[in-house]
Structure 1
Amino acid sequence: MTAKGRRAILCRMENQRHQLDRAFAALSDPTRRAVVARLCLGEASVGELAEPFSIGLPTFLKHIRVLEDGGLLETRKTGRVRMCALKPEALRQTDIWLSEHLRIWAARLDRMDAHIQRRKKEMRNDE
């Protein structure tokens, strides 16, 4: 592989890492997680999304911007109404990252369990 090819791969990996950082930061707030959960049912207006929360619209719009910056949703304006919809690719990327780490930890726990079972068997044989 050429140096140019390696740089391209590293750049793409850095962009993906940055995207994940922004997505996880956006999901760190319970209000934003509730908005994402609601949008899983389908697109909604900002007004509909804000309705269940006891915060002002300007504050709620900041949450919408953070979700947009995190790549989790997109908005479009139709007349005077701003509609929001999920961007499933960002959720897929977070799911891929989480799944990989869960797989790694499950394998580690399986190895630890196997080690404990071996030690128990050795201790019974020593008695």
Structure 2
Amino acid sequence: MKYVLTLLLALGAAASLPPAPEAQNLSKILAQSGLSPVDFDLMAAAEAALLGQNGPGKGQEKSWSNPKSESRGTVQAIAVQGNCAELLHLIHPKGQPKQVELRKKMCKSADGRWLLTL
């Protein structure tokens, strides 16, 4: 799940960057996001805590912050239906003028794992 979150955050960060005349590789996009690897780990931990074993209630929120990188964020369950939750990450990378929003839908599988869905 950590790698999926990293990829989604990179794509979300890429969407907030000005268009480039040529394609950029993922490592460059991640470097420009202003987030450190520890930030991504903290973000994933906040999401896992929000989802928990039984799933979140609508409106529930978890926060994370990294004093070393000065980045911070929250993840909130903006909709819950059955075994699925729509999550909104609001990310404040250090040095970036705007917050980054990332929306994703997670559903709990029969074996109890939370999986990214379309």
Q: Identify the TM-score tier after normalising by the shorter chain.
A: under 0.3
**Which structure's relative contact order is higher, taking Cα pairs within 8 Å and 6+ residues apart?**
1
> Which entry has the higher C-alpha Rg, 1 or 2?
1
Question: TM-score under structure 1 normalisation?
Answer: 0.23
Question: TM-score under structure 2 normalisation?
Answer: 0.24
User: In proportion to residue count, which structure has more helix?
Assistant: 1
